[in-house]
Amino acid sequence: MHKLENDINDLTKSILADYEGNRTIDEVKAYDHPENDVIVNIIESLRRIIFPGYFRNKSYRVYTVRNNVSMILEDVIFKLIKQISIVLRYDDKYVMLGDEEITDNAERITFEFLNKLPKIRELIETDVQAAYDGDPAAYNKDEIIYSYPGLYAILVNRLAHELFLLGVPLIPRVMTEHAHSKTGIDIHPGATIGRYFFIDHGTGIVIGETTEIGDNVKVYQGVTLGALSTRGGQSLRNKKRHPTIEDNVTIYSGASILGGETVVGKDAVIGGNAFITRSVPAGAKVSIKNQELRYNFDSPVERVKKADLDPEESWFYII
């Protein structure tokens, strides 16, 4: 036992010595850190407000809408003010303020954000409708609200985006990365998304910070709306790096659309696996030309047969 204690003490000293390297990972902040589990709890509470009849907290005995919303809001306000107070010190313009001024700013931001909830609910209603209209596999809207990962990712993004616009550090990204880990859909909170947005299947979708998406856009799994190059690193901060997708565009699975100057015009259709780095005119249909299938047979008579696929209308598939 004495040897074990010595080993633990020696290991502790070794790790503490390693903390003295003056690296980023060695830094000990003079203030608290945001709590990821609390931020996730805030997301789930806000989802109950946005869908009051769907995600009730079973610990509440009173189920009138007024009492339910009032209790949830009180809890969210308390938690959000605290978390925003913590992260504001990551912003240079707040770092020198006293605790009382930080709290006042956090309270102001919290109420500005929560006053956006009716606007967010209006947008989410259009997203539910877009999913129902666009997916023949959806039996009803309840199925979409309860189970569609795309809707969950969009909801979290719409919440996080409003905090992002209010200049809140860290929390918006924690929110969208939670949705990313849960759904496989990676939407930066800075991305601007219009009405009636539909993500089908969703896994592997990446939507970058400066992406602008219009109304009535449909995106399938594996799509990347990304930057053309990130070699510039921090020198590209605050520059338009990601594409603009105009109204009524459909982007099929595996397509990559890259670059801040790239605009996909209204009513365009982007076929699966397309790689696009320049603008697409309105109404265009983009596909990979002359894909080739190879069939291998065991028969010695016909070893290989080739078949070309023409980029016809049927090629733009729905899963």
CA 105 centroid distance within chain: 26
Instruction: Establish if 294 belongs to a structural domain.
Output: no
Total domains present in the chain: 2
Does 51 score more than 80 pLDDT? yes
Calculate the average pLDDT of the chain.
88
- Per-residue pLDDT, 316: 54
CA distance 3 to 6: 5
| pTM of structure | 0.85
- Distance (Å) of CA 241 to CA 103, 212, 315: 34, 11, 30
Based on the fold, state whether residues 151 and 71 are members of the same structural domain. Answer: yes
Q: How far apart are CA 145 and CA 48, in angstroms?
A: 12
Same domain, 116 and 171: yes
Confidence of residue 29 (pLDDT cuts 50, 70, 90): low
pLDDT digits (tens, 9 = 90+) for 297-319: 665 555 545 444 454 554 555 44
Q: Kindly state whether residue 219 falls inside one of the protein's structural domains.
A: yes
- Residue 54 has a pLDDT of 78
Reported as a pLDDT band with limits 50, 70 and 90, residue 48 is very high
List pLDDT tens digits, range 177-229.
999 999 999 999 999 999 999 999 999 999 999 999 999 999 999 999 999 87
- Of 126, 153, 185, at which residue does a domain stop? 185
Non-local CB neighbours of 215 within 8 Å, separated by 6+ positions: 194, 195, 196, 247, 248
CA 32/CA 86 separation, integer angstroms: 6
Q: Angle at CA 165, nearest 5°, toward 162 and 170?
A: 85
Domain endpoint, select from 150, 185, 220: 185
CATH classification of the domain holding 170: 1.10.3130.10
3-state secondary structure of 291: strand
Query: Same domain for 167 and 77?
Result: yes
Mean pLDDT, residues 101-120: 96
Residue 31 has pLDDT above 70, yes or no: no
- pLDDT, tens digit (0-9, with 9 covering 90-100), for 61-96: 555 666 778 888 999 999 999 999 999 988 888 888
What residues make up the domain containing 69? 29-185
Q: Which of 185, 216, 248 finishes a domain?
A: 185
Let me know whether 125 and 200 are in one domain: no
* CATH number assigned to the domain comprising residue 224: 2.160.10.10
285 and 226 in a common domain: yes
Number of Cβ within 10 Å of residue 123's Cβ equals 17
Run of H or E including 257: strand 256-258
Taking only the tens place, the pLDDT of each residue in 139-148 is: 999 999 999 9
Residues 6+ apart with CB under 8 A from 68: 48, 52, 56, 57, 60, 62
Q: Which residues contact 174 (CB under 8 A, 6 or more apart)?
A: 34, 36, 39
pLDDT at residue 121 is higher than 80: yes
DSSP letters spanning 121-156: HHHHHHHHHHHHHH-TT---HHHHHHH-HHHHHHHH
Q: Is the pLDDT of residue 289 over 50?
A: yes
Side-chain half-sphere CA neighbours of 95 within 13 A: 7
